[in-house]
Amino acid sequence: MKVARNCYCNLWKKDPKALEDQGIPLGYCGICERCGKPGHVQHFPGPVPYTGTWCDHCVKIVPWTNITIWLKFIIPTLIISASIWYLFKFYQK
pLDDT tens column, 12-43:
888 889 888 988 898 888 888 888 888 887 77
Q: Residues near 47 by Cβ (< 8 Å), separated by ≥ 6? A: 66, 68
Specify if 27 maps to a domain. yes
Specify if 36 maps to a domain. yes
- State how many domains the chain has: 1
Specify if 31 maps to a domain. yes
**pLDDT score recorded for residue 2:** 52
Specify if 6 maps to a domain. no
Give the model confidence (pLDDT) of 56-82 as tens digits. Answer: 888 788 777 777 777 888 899 999 999
Enter the pTM of the model: 0.57
Neighbours of 9 (CB within 10 A): 21
Q: Domain limits at 58?
A: 11-90
**pLDDT score recorded for residue 46:** 64
Specify if 84 maps to a domain. yes
Mean pLDDT of 45-54: 72
State the Cα–Cα distance between residues 21 and 61, nearest whole angstrom.
30
Specify if 2 maps to a domain. no
